[in-house]
Amino acid sequence: QVQLVESGGGLVQAGGSLRLSCRASGSIIRINTMGWYRQAPGKQRELVAFITSGQSTNYADSVKGRFTISRDNAKNTVYLQMNSLKPEDTAVYYCNADVVSSHDYTSRDYWGQGTQVTVSS
């Protein structure tokens, strides 16, 4: 199967920066779109940013100009560079990937376990 493992969360002051990483492993044939979502307490999970296999990107309006998503296809890894962090960015951040695996040769969505990002004011 396929596993996504995130790292890089933590506690930071407002205005600071963090870099999240998410590495996919397992019986991977191809990874299509990769992305980051977040869920704050009492709120629905929302899309933060995604990046296609061709390196096209898309961002939520709330993070445009502050966050940058990138990926290293050779390492099956997606990154989220978060700058100028605000208290409202506090959430659990989840990695998501659309992966074709050798298990069933079907495109499926996979999720990481989540990493906590806390921004203090």
49, β-bridge pairs: 36, 59
Taking the alpha carbons at both ends of the chain, their separation in whole angstroms is 41
CA atoms of 36 and 49, how far apart (whole Å): 5
φ and ψ at residue 73, rounded to 5 degrees: -65, -30
pLDDT digits (tens, 9 = 90+) for 46-85: 999 999 999 999 999 999 999 999 999 999 999 999 999 9
Q: Is 114 helix (H, G, I), strand (E, B) or coil?
A: coil
pLDDT(1) > 90? no
Could you give the C-alpha distances from 14 to 9, 53, 68, in angstroms and in order? 14, 32, 17
